[in-house]
Amino acid sequence: MYLKRYTVASFLLIVIVGWYVYAFVTQGSISVDLFGIQFPAMSIAVLVIVPLFVLYGASILHMGFYSMLGGFESRKYDKDFEKYIDSVIDAYLGKQVRNHVYKTDRYKLLGGVMDNSVMMANPTLKSDTNNKKINNIINLINEIKEGKVVDLKKFNLKLTNPLVALNQRNMYKNGDISAEDILSSKDKYAQELYEEVYVDFVQTAPLYAIENYKKHISNKALFEVLARINAEENTLEVSNIVLISLFKVLELGESDYLNISKRLSKTMIPEQRMKLFEILSETHEDATAAYLYTLFDLEMLAPADELLENTRPNEYLNFKSYRALKECGKNFNIELFV
């Protein structure tokens, strides 16, 4: 409001008016009677400038009042700006629950849009936004992506947050926590980390430990276990009962059982492999094709014929075609029919 300039100009005007009245109008004095109170005689020039002083004081109060209102409004914008910065940070962090309350209409619009948005940091994004809080978040995100471990606790992010999962993965890769530390902790880490760690864990872990944490098993982890059966290194001796218990954790389909049989053909002894899929086919229809494949792969033609005879005409046509070719003396690789 340039209060100092206004004050100087006002006092200069008052002095000029008083001087002009005294010098060019009158130098006389007058006694003033106000509310029955007789005041001493005063110069007329002084009496002229008194209302100017009153006007100056009133104008100062007026400007001060509206300046105070403007200050309150300005503080609203400042606070809303800080909330908007927090909203931008939450968007960078990928927070799912956000509800910033704004007091100004402009920031209500901008903040509402930001609170319903997710911002993906550009891989080449640099922390030169001229805002310290945003710069810190950008640096933090870049550090996580570079494989470093940062403290995310103060942001109250959920375990499903990608940054949390990546930061926990960095902790594991950097050796800050072991695979068993993660697997033995309930609901403390992101689900994808449990599955990733379990894949690494089953490559060397003993069978009892594999069974202990089997709730984290995935198809990839299962095939790591299958690869160790009768292998030269990190050998596992696994019974069919244990294998079936591992299968039950997963939702396996026909193609999965076929792939399992193919993998086991390299390591498992034929008798155990055949018995495994016989048991599976009795309780899981999706395993029947894998049982047929196993029988034909092992040249167990009689049991395969018996099994096919008990199927409907339009079922397992690929295996029936293979059998027909075998009966005609044509030898093809069973892999061509699955």
Q: What is the pLDDT of residue 123?
A: 62
Q: What is the pLDDT of residue 291?
A: 94
Mean pLDDT of 261-269: 92
- Rounded to the nearest integer, the mean pLDDT of the chain is 87
Q: What is the pLDDT of residue 287?
A: 94
CB 294 within 8 A of CB 274: yes
Per-residue pLDDT tens over the stretch 305-319 = 999 888 888 888 999
Report residue 262's pLDDT band, with 50, 70 and 90 as the boundaries.
very high
Mean pLDDT of 290-317: 90
Q: What is the pLDDT of residue 127?
A: 63
pLDDT at 71 > cutoff 80: no
Per-residue pLDDT tens over the stretch 105-130 = 888 898 888 888 877 766 666 666 78
Q: What is the pLDDT of residue 228?
A: 93
pLDDT at 292 > cutoff 90: yes
pLDDT at 229 > cutoff 90: yes
Per-residue pLDDT tens over the stretch 88-98 = 889 888 888 88
Mean pLDDT of 247-268: 93
> In angstroms, what CA-CA distances link 175 with 129, 190, 205?
34, 17, 17
Per-residue pLDDT tens over the stretch 125-171 = 666 678 888 888 888 998 998 999 999 988 888 888 889 999 999 99
Which range is least confidently modeled, 28-42, 192-206, 241-255?
A: 28-42
